Amino acid sequence: MTLFSDLHVHEAILRAVQEMGFEEATPIQAEVIPKVKNGRDIIGQAQTGTGKTAAFGIPLIEQMSQDEKYPQGLVLAPTRELAIQVAEELNRLGRFIGVQALAVYGGQEMTRQMKALKRRPQIIVATPGRLMDHMRRRTIRPQYMKIVVLDEADEMLSMGFVEDIETILAEVPEERQTLLFSATIPKRLQSVVHQFMKNPEKVQIKSKGLTVANIDQRYIEVPEKQKFDTLCHLLDITPPELAIVFGRTKRRVDELSEALTQRGYLAEGIHGDLRQAQRDKVLRKFKSNTIDILVATDVAARGLDVSGVTHVYNFDLPQDSESYVHRIGRTGRAGKEGVAYSFVTPKEMSHLRFIEETTKKKLTRNDIPTSQEAMQGRYQQAVDQLIKTAEKGNLKDLEQIAKTLLESYDPVTLVSASLKVTTKEPEQVKVTLTEEASLRPKKSRRKQERRGRSSQHRFTTESRVRGKRKKK
């Protein structure tokens, strides 16, 4: 066990860390913090939800000086939501030491960002496209940057941001320190990565596989047409606290969130074609538990840290095993337990085997849940609701009515009837989703790696659009 004080973290940051409730450093933090302080370039790989943000955030904040006029630290992130989240975490860590971070991302008014830049934050957290806009307008000058962090580096590089990152780094002083983090750093990207770095040291937290042990990973072999009922049944059998359902395309996400709403679940969708204000609103509702199901494309797969996510459903199996790792990693964070279900069509079974081989983790097979099981689940929810209400008390107003009813009916009939009234109706609403084609069988990993970087194919509609980067 390593305490933050053992790592000689600045006192003001120690205070912040305490307030955030961190008792000890996670393994990646314990390894990375001293190394960054020594000035090394670092490639940090550790599983999802293990505190990589603070691993780079703490030493980054420590090296910012308060009297510089220009930003000295830069964090690049692949999505807007992640940029916002990382800036928030840095601001929490930096609040007592007086270091500020600002998120700068597409879809937000330029004027607003320019105004915020006038407050002279020491750290800029940005999506690459918007940062380049600011650099062109000279509203952000990278000449004084000392440290650059590429969070979710593999995603940014395989998304088609390589040129942007090259452009950005060309303007950052050579003698900078470069840090690169992700839960997955595929071999095929290592040569790209090295071009941005000086003799980097790889820090990899040893683990059995790419995924965390506290996620219970299951799969259900299910024909495309039965996926939706299967999802509803699972939601009824074990209602999640918060759940994320991943779909392959934007259309899929729209249709799914609509269908779930029709069936009475509190769900909303998020994807790259929505206006930023809408994306923010949906995420806010999810974080505040106003909705309990977030339906998303891979735009929500990377880095997002929402506490209380108990379940992830891969409604559609992802193309890449990296995407699988990150999607399911939205649960089981910071040592908590989580469950991840993946729906696999019969034709996709070989693709599932490929994912298992890459992540070094076998998934547990589950049968398709039956309507009876779902019905039992709904009854159980009614029972829970009844007991909760009974235990809460404050039922005085109804007591007399209850007594009168008991004079004419027996208690068993009455309780059964009240359960029936509170039980959620079974699937009456007919729902039809546009069918998605099964994924083509994936080549074996070795063959794929031999084919080199050209094999970073990304077939999904979402990724193709994201590849154009402005749409992110």
Ligand X SMILES: Nc1ncnc2c1ncn2[C@@H]1O[C@H](COP(=O)(O)OP(=O)(O)OP(=O)(O)O)[C@@H](O)[C@H]1O
Q: Closer to ligand X by CB, 255 or 305: give it.
A: 305
For Mg ion, the binding residues (CB under 5 A) are 52, 303
Q: Closer to ligand X by CB, 14 or 344: give it.
A: 14
Least Å from the CB of residue 85 to Mg ion: 8
Three-state DSSP state, 340: strand
**Residue (of 357, 55, 53) closest to 211 by Cα position:** 357
Pairing mode, strands 338-344 and 364-366: unpaired
Q: Which does 81 bind (CB under 5 to 8 A by kind): ligand X, Mg ion, none?
A: none
Report how many residues bind ligand X under the rule CB under 6 A. 18
Least Å from the CB of residue 471 to Mg ion: 22
Taking the C-alpha atoms of residue 102 and residue 119, their distance in angstroms, rounded to an integer, is 9
Report the residue from 80, 333, 466, 472 that binds ligand X according to the rule CB under 6 A. 333
Least Å from the CB of residue 381 to ligand X: 29
Q: Half-sphere exposure of residue 147, counting CA atoms within 13 Å on the CB side?
A: 26
Q: Closer to Mg ion by CB, 125 or 355: give it.
A: 125
Least Å from the CB of residue 302 to ligand X: 7
Q: Closer to ligand X by CB, 215 or 235: give it.
A: 215
Q: Does 303 bind ligand X (CB under 6 A)?
A: yes
| Segment 267 to 296, residues that bind ligand X, using CB under 6 A | none
What is the signed CA dihedral for 46, 50, 53, 59, rounded to 10 degrees? -80
Q: Which residue has the tokens 């929500």?
A: 300
Taking the C-alpha atoms of residue 152 and residue 300, their distance in angstroms, rounded to an integer, is 12
Q: Which does 49 bind (CB under 5 to 8 A by kind): ligand X, Mg ion, none?
A: ligand X
Taking the C-alpha atoms of residue 134 and residue 113, their distance in angstroms, rounded to an integer, is 9
Q: Does 177 bind ligand X (CB under 6 A)?
A: no
Taking the C-alpha atoms of residue 398 and residue 295, their distance in angstroms, rounded to an integer, is 40
Q: Does 49 bind ligand X (CB under 6 A)?
A: yes
No. of H helices and E strands in the chain?
Answer: 19, 14
Q: Does 184 bind ligand X (CB under 6 A)?
A: no
Report the residue from 53, 79, 127, 345 that binds ligand X according to the rule CB under 6 A. 53
312 bridge partner residues: 244, 340
Least Å from the CB of residue 46 to ligand X: 6
Least Å from the CB of residue 297 to ligand X: 17
Q: Does 305 bind ligand X (CB under 6 A)?
A: yes
Pairing mode, strands 338-344 and 309-314: parallel
Cβ–Cβ under 8 Å, residues 303 and 331? no
Report the residue from 14, 22, 293, 321 that binds ligand X according to the rule CB under 6 A. 22
Taking the C-alpha atoms of residue 267 and residue 290, their distance in angstroms, rounded to an integer, is 9
**Residues engaged in binding ligand X (CB under 6 A):** 22, 25-26, 29, 46, 48-54, 183, 303, 305, 329, 333-334
